[in-house]
Amino acid sequence: MAEENVKKFHLEGECELRFEVESENEVTLVLKSGMAGVFGTELVKGIRYVFTTGSKIAVFTWQGCVIELRGKMDICYIAKDTPMVMYLNVHEALELLRRKAELANGRGPVTMIVGQLDVGKSTLCRLLLNYAVRMSRRPIFVDLDVGQGQISIPGTIGALLVQRPAAVEEGFSQQAPQLVYHFGHESPSTNLALYNMLVSRLAEVISKRMQANRRANASGVIINTCGWVKGDGYKQLTHVAQAFEVDIILVLDQERLYHELVHDMPTSVKVVFLQKNRGVSSSVFSV
């Protein structure tokens, strides 16, 4: 049942306000007081943020805040259970590795995020990149999801040197990508050999560019993958890990995938299991 009109929400610390914009409608969000962010991007008090049809948003606050929402929503509620502290710990661990890399003039952490469809992979990438760039890092975002990438159009893979936090409404799509490869299909399975070849090529070019940019090199890479994790999908993930010489694999939600990777990856690769945020749901908008 749709809800309309203006509503004010008083959020306590470490809570999130989740809402979904109803079909053919938009919702306006204003931060009235306190501090809050959307997937790691800070909201500015008093600014109107407009979300369009199908948007599924979570406004998280560490300290507490007041939010005003205007418009028709399919769903809207405050949740207290979020794995945000866990995600922040991951960011802290990556930051430690970046600091070490900086001192040694070496390569920062190359992190790959894996999991089934709709477990929050793209959202976690955005969060970690936003946290990194807010600490004055310049991480490279690699999006290998040819179905729903955040960097360019469907059917492509690409990379972006992140220089500022994602826009609240549009994410990273406003920042010009540095590298995009055309694959031509929305699933790697359509032509796995070509997909793997493009991944290897992208990894090579990024590695060279990192060697030429000390700050980006120390900041490391965050790699988003698609939700194809079984059979050839799993092999494709191991290919990505090898091509990018990843240091860390964050596995969202699926213990079986976690154990498979722990078993198959060399010991130098740290595989970490993370809970999914329970607010994450199918990103395909159903009318």
Ligand X SMILES: Nc1ncnc2c1ncn2[C@@H]1O[C@H](COP(=O)(O)OP(=O)(O)OP(=O)(O)O)[C@@H](O)[C@H]1O
Chain residues binding ligand X by CB under 6 A are: 16, 18, 56, 58, 115, 117-123, 145, 148, 227, 277, 279-281, 283
Contact indicator for 17, 33 with CB cutoff of 8 Å: no
Comparison of 180 and 210: residue with beta carbon closer to ligand X: 180
30 binds, among ligand X, Mg ion, none (CB under 5 to 8 A by kind): none
DSSP at 24: T
Nearest to 35 by CA among 56, 69, 11, 7: 11
Residue 117, both tokens: 């469809």
For residues 119 and 160, which CB has a smaller minimum distance to ligand X in the complex?
Answer: 119
Nearer to Mg ion (CB atom), residue 36 or residue 157: 157
Task: Identify whether the C-beta of residue 108 lies closer than 8 Å to the C-beta of residue 246.
Answer: no
- What's the closest the beta carbon of residue 275 comes to Mg ion, in angstroms? 17
Give min distance, CB of 99 to ligand X, in A: 28
Nearer to ligand X (CB atom), residue 101 or residue 129: 129
127 Rama sector, left if φ>0, alpha if ψ -120 to 50, beta otherwise: alpha
Q: Which residue is nearest to ligand X (CB)?
A: 279
Region from 93-101, 113-121, 200-208, 274-282 binding Mg ion, contact rule CB under 5 A:
113-121
CB of 214 to ligand X, least distance (A): 31
**Residue 191 DSSP code:** G
Which partner, Mg ion, ligand X, none, binds residue 118 by CB below 5 to 8 Å per kind? Answer: ligand X
Q: Evaluate whether 165 touches 139 at the Cβ level (below 8 Å).
A: no
Residues 144-183 touching Mg ion, rule: CB under 5 A, are none
29 HSE (CA, 13 A, CB side):
28
- Among the candidate windows 94-102, 117-125, 232-240, 250-258, which touches Mg ion by CB under 5 A? 117-125
| Nearest distance in Å: CB 239, ligand X | 18
Q: Is 18 helix (H, G, I), strand (E, B) or coil?
A: strand
Sole binder of Mg ion in the list 122, 130, 219, 277 (CB under 5 A): 122
Q: Which is nearer to ligand X, 146 or 180 (CB)?
A: 146
Residue 117 contacts which entry, ligand X, Mg ion, none (Cβ below 5-8 A, type-dependent): ligand X
Q: Are 209 and 248 contacting, i.e. CB atoms less than 8 angstroms apart?
A: no
Distance between CA 251 and CA 248 in Å, rounded? 10
Asked if 81 and 15 touch (Cβ cutoff 8 Å), the reply is no
Binding of residue 225 to Mg ion (CB under 5 A) = no
Closest CA to 128 of 171, 81, 102, 90: 90
How many C-beta atoms surround the C-beta of residue 78 within 10 A?
15
Tell me which of Mg ion, ligand X, none is bound by residue 91, counting a contact when its beta carbon lies within the kind-specific cut-off of 5 to 8 angstroms. Answer: none
Which CB, 101 or 223, lies closer to ligand X? 223
Q: Which is nearer to Mg ion, 107 or 121 (CB)?
A: 121
Q: How far is the CB of 179 from Mg ion (least distance, A)?
A: 19
* C-alpha torsion sign, points 56, 129, 178, 182: negative
Using CB under 5 A, list all residues that contact Mg ion: 121-122
